[in-house]
């Protein structure tokens, strides 16, 4: 039986994405990027009593409890910037690539991508946690600490020595993204068949959410 308690989630949106925190009062998000999720008995108690915690209160409470989590490996910088913004210790728990810590309250501010883990938290398809709209978010763009990620890199030396290779790689990458956006179900099927995934339904969710990031309104 899935638990339907009020939860807190913080979301980081990456690249054209950004970073957001979900805070259990049904607040909305633009659905782009990387996230951090959170929940605790004290937060649930406050919500059940009709009190609404501010973003700052949520962040400080999670940090005070030592329950801020992130994957690290380069994804931690928005979290570190957020903690520094509120003059909090720059400590965080090491998070695995599930939302189990969020589900069992080990982490009250846990990271999640809007195009990946957020879908697992909200949706009830195979592999999902089924919290639906009982979670809200804090957008790292609103917090002023969102950063660009998921970029393509090469050394200056390689680019100078292999200009046609660099050009071809960039062109192929852009064409691949364009095709995936135009054919999200096919893209989801290709990725699902090529490697491990939570479920095919989750791959479809991810394809539709990534399309929102690629189709950025430059205005």
Kindly state the DSSP code that residue 95 receives in the 8-state scheme. Answer: P
- Residue pLDDT tens, the chain, 219 long: 444 344 555 554 433 333 445 433 333 344 346 555 443 323 333 333 457 889 999 999 999 999 999 999 888 999 999 999 999 999 999 999 889 999 999 998 888 888 899 999 999 999 999 999 888 777 888 899 988 877 889 999 999 999 999 999 999 999 999 999 999 999 999 999 998 778 999 999 999 998 888 887 767
What's the pLDDT tens digit per position in 28-48? 344 346 555 443 323 333 333
DSSP β-bridge partners for residue 19: 12, 34
Question: Scanning the structure block, which residue is given the tokens 């999902």?
Answer: 128
Under DSSP, is residue 7 helix (H, G, I), strand (E, B) or coil?
strand
What's the pLDDT tens digit per position in 150-185? 788 999 999 999 999 999 999 999 999 999 999 999
Distance CA 68, CA 23 (A): 13
CA 78 from chain center: how many Å? 11
pTM of the predicted structure, to 2 decimals:
0.74
Tokens, residue 35? 């996230």
Percent of the chain with pLDDT over 70: 76
Q: Where are the domains of the chain?
A: 7-143, 156-214
């Amino acid at each position: 039986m899935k638990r339907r308690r009020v939860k807190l989630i913080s979301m980081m949106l990456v690249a054209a994405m950004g970073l957001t925190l979900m805070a259990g009062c049904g607040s909305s998000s633009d659905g782009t990027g990387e996230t951090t999720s959170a929940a605790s008995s004290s937060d649930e108690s406050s919500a059940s009593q009709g009190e609404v915690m501010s973003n700052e209160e949520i962040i400080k409470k999670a940090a005070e409890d030592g329950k801020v989590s992130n994957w690290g490996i380069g994804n931690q910088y928005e979290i570190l910037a957020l903690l520094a913004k509120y003059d909090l210790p720059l400590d965080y728990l090491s998070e695995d690539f599930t939302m189990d810590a969020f589900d069992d309250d080990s982490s009250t501010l846990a990271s999640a991508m809007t195009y990946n883990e957020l879908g697992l938290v909200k949706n009830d398809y195979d592999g999902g946690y089924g919290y639906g709209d009982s979670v809200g978010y804090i957008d790292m763009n609103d917090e002023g600490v969102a950063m660009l990620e998921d970029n393509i890199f090469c050394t200056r030396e390689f680019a100078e020595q292999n200009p046609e290779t660099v050009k071809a790689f960039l062109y192929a990458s852009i064409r691949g993204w364009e095709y995936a956006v135009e054919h999200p179900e096919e893209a989801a099927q290709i990725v699902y068949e090529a490697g491990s995934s939570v479920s095919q339904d989750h791959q479809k969710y991810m394809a539709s959410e990534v399309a929102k990031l690629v189709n950025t309104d430059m205005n």
